[in-house]
Structure formats: C-alpha cells, structure tokens
C-alpha cells in the first residue's frame, strides 16, 4: 500500500520564508487551524510537530502530539483526534482528546498494515485503511477504540485515505487503482462514498492526488480534495458535479460554517528535491478575493485540519514561532 502521505526529508532553510500573519477576516472565522510540519528554520533536521493557530493568524501553539505521528484527523465535533504513529516496530493507530492528551493505542492484529485513521463523531469508533498482512490488499475497515468489532466495509483493494462524514452515517475514502500489470493508474486515485454499515458504495470522482484525506463539508453535501494537477476541487456528493476552486493547493479543509476553505500551498525551498516550504491559505467560497495567507511559513507539511476543538487560550496573542 502506498503511504497516505509521503515522508519528506526535513528541510527548512532561512530562504524558505519567515513567520507572517494574515489579516483578520470580517466576521471572524470560527474554530482553529491545526497543521503539521517543522518550525525551526535554524536547524538542518528539526523534528516535525503539530500546531494550532487561529484563522486570523494569532495564538500559535504547539500541541502535545508526538513527533513520530503522521496524519492527524479530528472527529466531526472536534472532541477527538486520531493519528498513526511510526515509533514502534509497526505503525499504530492512536486515538486521543483533541489536544493530544489521554492518548490510547487501538489494539490491532500484529503484522497488519494500517493508515489514515478517522474517528467517529463520538470518538468510539475509527475508520481506517487496513490490510491484515503486508501482502494483503488494503480496504476500508472500522473498529472500536478498544480493538473490538474489526469489520471490513469494502473490497476495492488499495484504500489510501479515509474521512468519516459529519453525521456519522457515511465514510469517504480514496483508492489507488492498480492495473493488471501491478502498476498504478497515473490518472490519480478514485474517490468513493459508502455508508458506515458497508452498503451503498459508489464512486463519485477520480483524478484525486491521494496525498491527503478528502474533506467533508459541514453539511455533508460536498467533499473537497486535491487533484493530480495540484488543484483544490469540490465534488457534489449527490450528483458528482466537480468544481475547481483553487489552481494551486493541497490538503483542503472546510471552515466550521462551510463558507471558507483552508489549504496548504507549498513550493520547493531551493534545497534538494524533497525540500519544501509551505503556507496555510484561506479562501472565501463564491467570493472574488484572492486566498489570504495566515500564520508562519513552515517546512515538511504533514496535515491540515480546521476544528472547533478548544485548543487555544481565550486571550488573543500575536503569532510566535515556538522552539522545537
């Protein structure tokens, strides 16, 4: 199974950019943005971490997630988070409170290949890409956080990224189509939606990049994703109508009110091939204004989320870059 998010070599040099803040929108955006990456431009190989930031660019805070965790997904109400951790002999699925506290490892069979965990709204279940062995196909499965009830929902064969819908009734996932000669379809991954009980499976889009999970709109009617041309696209879940909303962006996520999208915009930093800098951008849907940058420039982008979880203190502070 191809990794849901490629592990990029850590690199953030002084030329990659410096910390900046965006201009506050009116009215103020709700919730907080969470992104993963490296924040210390003075170190050659700084450890990655996860950070919370208000959508106006204030209140930057490092969260309590381990440096070894990969993709980070929140439940629909923002109360829980799920990650996969590569610090042990095999990748583990970890569920915690939204700030990374009270973390617990989901017991799963040895030698399983797991990835892209997405917690249910109540935090009791996890949907994930799961293969019972390293040579087995990876499909969409669900499991309780105590490891009980491990159930396969699909058999598409190469599930990469997973996202539980806000109402908890459906799950979206991307599957990397494999050709008969064992290679992968260069036209991108397919995007599917299935009910949480495994029924009503249907494909709603193709040409998905597969690097980041698909993102449900808060009302569950649309899904945003990055396509293989590095564009932010939105597909209507019911009729499959596809709209490109940004020509350069990745990892799109919705604002809690459904009026805006945030996404990562990355570019080579001028070092070796895997060296990237990244910025978080926010755009109004249906508006004419250009996307605005919020927060600092950072390296090794790992994930992006827009959550209503209470991850920052009440007082407004100016952006700061925490030390690693």
pLDDT score for 271 = 60
Q: Are 246 and 231 in contact (CB under 8 A)?
A: yes
Give which of 112, 109, 75, 76 is closest to 95, Cα–Cα: 75
Q: Residues 295-312: pLDDT tens digits? A: 999 988 888 999 999 898
| Residue numbers of the chain with a pLDDT score lower than 50 | 1-27, 315-324
- CATH match of 14-307 with 2.120.10.30: yes
Q: Supply the pTM of this predicted model.
A: 0.85
pLDDT score for 316 = 44
pLDDT score for 289 = 80
HEC letters along the chain: CCCCCCCCCCCCCHHHCCCCCCCCCCCCCCCEEEEEEECCCCCCCCCCEEEEECCCCCCCEECCCCCCEEEEEECCCCCEEEEEECCCCCCEEEEEECCCCCCEECCCCCCCEEEEEEECCCCCEEEEEEECCCCCCEEEEEEECCCCCCEECCCCCEEEEEEECCCCCEEEEEECCECCCCCECCCCEEEEEEECCCCCCEEEEEEECCCCCCEECCCCCEEEEEECCCCEEEEECCCCCEEEEECCCEEEEECCCCCEEEEEEEEECCCCCCCEEEEEEEEECCCCCCCEEEEEEEECCCCEEEECCCCCCCCCCCCCCCCC
The token pair at 301 is: 């982008």
Domain coordinates in residue numbering, the chain:
14-307
Rounded CA-CA distance 135/145 in Å is 25
């Amino acid at each position: 199974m191809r990794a849901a998010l490629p592990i990029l070599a850590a690199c953030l040099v002084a030329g990659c950019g410096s910390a900046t803040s965006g201009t506050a929108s009116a009215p103020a955006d709700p919730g907080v943005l969470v992104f993963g990456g490296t924040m210390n431009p003075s170190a050659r190989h700084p450890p990655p971490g996860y950070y919370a930031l208000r959508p106006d660019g204030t209140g930057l805070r490092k969260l309590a997630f381990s440096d070894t965790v990969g993709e980070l997904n929140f439940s629909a109400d923002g109360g829980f988070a799920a990650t996969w951790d590569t610090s042990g002999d095999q990748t583990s699925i970890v569920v915690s409170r939204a700030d990374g506290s009270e973390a617990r490892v989901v017991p799963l069979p040895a030698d399983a290949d797991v990835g892209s965990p997405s917690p249910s709204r109540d935090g009791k279940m996890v949907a994930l890409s799961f293969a019972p062995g390293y040579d087995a196909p990876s499909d969409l499965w669900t499991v309780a956080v105590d490891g009980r009830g491990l159930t396969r929902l699909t058999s598409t064969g190469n599930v990469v990224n997973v996202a539980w819908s806000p109402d908890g009734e459906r799950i979206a996932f991307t599957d990397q189509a494999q050709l008969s000669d064992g290679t992968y379809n260069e036209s991108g991954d397919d995007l599917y939606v299935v009910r949480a009980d495994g029924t009503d499976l249907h494909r709603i889009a193709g040409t998905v990049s597969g690097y980041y999970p698909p993102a449900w709109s808060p009302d569950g009617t649309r899904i945003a994703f990055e396509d293989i041309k590095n564009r932010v696209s939105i597909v209507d879940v019911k009729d499959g109508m596809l709209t490109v909303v940004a020509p350069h962006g990745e990892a799109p996520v919705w604002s809690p009110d459904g009026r805006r999208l945030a996404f990562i915009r990355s570019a080579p930093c001028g070092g070796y091939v895997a060296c990237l800098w990244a910025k978080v951008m926010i755009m109004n849907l249906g508006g004419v204004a250009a996307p605005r940058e919020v927060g600092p420039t950072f390296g090794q982008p790992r994930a992006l989320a827009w959550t209503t979880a209470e991850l920052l203190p009440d007082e407004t502070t100016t952006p700061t870059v925490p030390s690693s």
